[in-house]
Amino acid sequence: MARILIVEDEAVLALDLSLQLADAGFDVVGPASSSEEALKLLHSVGCDAALLDINLDGETSEPVAAALLALGVPFVSLTGYSAAERPAIFRHAPMLEKPVRTPALLAALGTL
């Protein structure tokens, strides 16, 4: 069972993503609402892939993306930003616009 780290600061959306992934048979790590919390989970629990909200209540999840890239762990970015507005570190990752629908989420994870 693949472990998916969820990094999302909106509690309702984080819960929805967790339920979608659990229903699809994934093991959910988190969710984490900050980069600091996500990095702690990444280093203590680990994951096989991640879903990263780019904007986390005034900060970005860029440190988490950098750590995942260094570990060779793929991720999908979740955002309301256009592709041109995303920070450079996210430009090569699959992107899903919020709100995320289950078929799109599972398809994006399948490409990883």
Q: What domains sit in the chain, N to C, each tagged with a CATH number? A: 3-111 (3.40.50.2300)
* Tens digit of each residue's pLDDT (9 = 90 or more) over 63-76: 999 999 999 999 99
Does the global pTM surpass 0.85? yes
CA proximity to 6, closest of 59, 103, 102, 76: 76
Radius of gyration of the chain (CA): 12
| Contact (Cβ atoms closer than 8 angstroms) between residue 8 and residue 78 | yes
* Tens digit of each residue's pLDDT (9 = 90 or more) over 25-59: 999 999 999 999 999 999 999 999 999 999 998 89
CA angle, corner 6, sides to 8 and 38, nearest 5? 80
Class of residue 91 by CB neighbours under 10 A (exposed 0-12, middle 13-18, buried 19+): exposed
